[in-house]
Each structure stands twice: as structure tokens, then as C-alpha cells.
Amino acid sequence: MNPRFPRQILIYAALLFLFCGVSQARMGENYDELVARYGKPTTDIPMEGLRKLLFEKEGFFIEADLVDNKAEQIIYSCKNKERDHLSEHDVKALLDKNIGINKKAEWKESIRTEEAQYFHLKYGEGTEAKWQMDRGYLTICTRKWRDALKARSANEANQKLKAF
């Protein structure tokens, strides 16, 4: 038996354990809950109708977009020497953590391209996910976030027309 094999299992188990702690952020958490979990955000950008937060913990990055002080989009990525991409197992664990309060909801695979796998949350009122396999990150967003982004874009377009 290869003497490196048990050590590799131990390394991957440790990384999975660390990642499970990081992956606890859930859609719908508010600012205080996110700060309690990750500490002060490294980036905090208030925008019209949105607030963008970036946290770094244990070699992972978590970006949360807040609408009405609730996380309506979360982007997970890992950036460390051992791993720079989320695995299929990581993605499934993150999706399960973000299923919401509706216990009948379940993630269903949707369109798959060479670069990305899309998911939708059945009974999740428009919650969708996109796993960028080639870039190594997972984005989960709700309809409320998409609506806020559309409203923001429409308002910016109106401001440009007024200036014209």
C-alpha cells in the first residue's frame, strides 16, 4: 500500500472539515449573522438597493450581496495552495446548506455547458445556482436579488437619460 495514501486522505478530510465550517453561510442571513460567523468583512460596499460584503476565512472567500439586510446572493470560492476549485462534493454540500426553510425543496440539475453546471431549487421561488467548474466557484442567488439588480440597472439607465 502506498504510504502517501493515508496522509492524502487525512489532508482531504481536514480540508473538508474546514470547508464545512466555512460553508455554513446561508441565503437569508442578515449582516449581523454573517459578521458573527466570519468576522468583519474585508470589503463592504454599499450600493443602491444592494450591499456587497466580502469575507475571507481559512483560505475561502465568501461574497454576500444583501438586499434589505438579507443575503440574497452568495458566491463561494476557495483560494489556497492545496485547492483552487470547488469539487462536486463541495458544491453539493453548499447547495444542501442553502436549501432554505422549505423542506420539500430540492436542488435539480439544469443546463450544463462545458464551463458551468446550473441548478434550480424546486419549490424555491426562483432560487438558482451556477457552478463555474472552470473558474472554481459557486454562485447562489434568489429572484429577489435578480429583481434588485434589474431595478438598479433601470435606475442607472434613467439617470443617464436624465443627464442627456
Residue 114 has pLDDT above 70, yes or no: yes
Q: Tell me if residue 154 falls in helix, strand or coil.
A: helix
Total domains, the chain: 1
pLDDT digits (tens, 9 = 90+) for 72-105: 999 999 877 677 788 899 899 889 988 866 678 8
Of 54 and 12, more confident: 54
Give the separation between CA 19 and CA 3, rounded to whole angstroms. Answer: 25
Which pLDDT score, from 0 to 100, does residue 19 have? 41
Of 156 and 108, more confident: 108
Of 146 and 17, more confident: 146
Q: Which long-range contacts (CB under 8 A, 24 or more apart) does 12-20 make?
A: 15/82, 15/83, 16/89, 18/58, 18/59, 19/58, 19/60, 19/78, 19/90, 19/93, 20/93
Split at pLDDT 50, 70, 90, the class of 3 is low
Give the separation between CA 20 and CA 97, rounded to whole angstroms. Answer: 10
Provide the residue type at 147 as one letter.
D
Taking only Cα atoms into account, the Rg of the chain, rounded to an integer number of angstroms, comes to: 18
Helix (H) or strand (E) holding 159: helix 143-163
Query: What mean pLDDT, rounded, does the chain reach?
Result: 82
Which pLDDT score, from 0 to 100, does residue 2 have? 53
Structural domain boundaries enclosing 139:
4-163
pLDDT digits (tens, 9 = 90+) for 19-53: 444 444 578 899 999 999 889 999 999 988 899 99
Closest by CA position to 82, among listed 6, 130, 13, 131: 13
pTM exceeds cut of 0.85: no
Q: Are 60 and 19 in contact (CB under 8 A)?
A: yes
